[in-house]
Amino acid sequence: MAPRKAKAPSGQQLTKAQQAEADLKENFQQFASENFPSFCEAYKKLPPKEACKVYTDILRYITAPVQAQPLDANPVDTEQEEVDKHKARIQAMRDKM
């Protein structure tokens, strides 16, 4: 399968380096898709400890990273608290008029 010419989000042509990266990504995606059944068979044969490592290693490619929160972060405001904040802002704007 011939690599397709990718375009930048702005519609412009990609640089040679960007095109090479896009082609490489497409080739790896095709490789992964074609070899997924054999990967699953090999995965089933792994000892539990190794299977867990492979599983967690793969997760970082298919899930968004978890972002750390500082320990002193405020808890998420409840819906009513959000409504009250907006009401207070609206009232403050009206008072300035």
Calculate mean pLDDT across residues 88-92.
Answer: 86
pLDDT of residue 85: 84
What residue ranges do the domains of the chain occupy? 13-64
pLDDT of residue 63: 82
Q: What angle do CA 52, 47, 40 make, to 5 degrees?
A: 70
| Residues whose CB falls within 8 Å of the CB of residue 58, separated by 6 or more in sequence, listed in order | none
pLDDT of residue 53: 93
- Give dist(CA 41, CA 2) in Å, integer: 29
Let me know if 77 is exposed, middle or buried by CB neighbors in 10 A (0-12, 13-18, 19+): exposed
Q: What is the pLDDT of residues 10-33, one digit of tens each?
A: 777 888 898 899 899 999 999 999
pTM above 0.75? no
Could you tell me the two tokens for 69? 């929160």
On average, the pLDDT of the chain sits at: 82
